[in-house]
Amino acid sequence: MQPFVDEGRLLERSHETINNSINDFVFIEKNNQIIACAGLKLYEDENVGEIYALVVSKNFHNTNTSTRLMELLIDKASGLNLSSIFALSKYGGRFFFRFEFVESELSSLPNSRQKSYDCERKSIIYSRRI
């Protein structure tokens, strides 16, 4: 994750934060190393999930790894019977569109997520029905 944090493409998260939410994450490994991961945070009251910290090692770009990662996230959301998932990103619109996400308004997010939305970052909201 760190190279993408350094580039400003991913928000920094402490080891403690990651450890406390480790069950949110799906991983792809190769040779006993994590090459891709992403979290799926649940908003149980609204029955939706937020994809966050989605990252694929640069050595595995253009190898179908991101597609496998998104499929794992969608499968996890489906297994949890979520009605929809969303992601906030400044980058990667084409990537989300490939998986039937659409651009959405701030008002479509769970109330608690609307309150924590960083207007200065100006992330685009992508959502998808499950």
Q: Where are the domains of the chain?
A: 2-129
- SS3 (DSSP) at 124: strand
Per-residue pLDDT band at 78 (split at 50, 70, 90):
very high
Q: What's the angle, vertex CA 5, arms to CA 96 and CA 85, rounded to 5?
A: 30
Q: What pLDDT is recorded for position 21?
A: 83
Most confident of 1-5, 34-38, 58-62: 34-38
Q: Residues 6-13: what's their mean pLDDT? A: 61
- Is residue 130 predicted with pLDDT exceeding 60? yes
| CATH class of this structure's domain 2-129 | alpha beta
Q: Residues 24-47: what's their mean pLDDT? A: 95
Q: What pLDDT is recorded for position 11?
A: 60
**CB neighbours of residue 98 within 10 Å:** 12
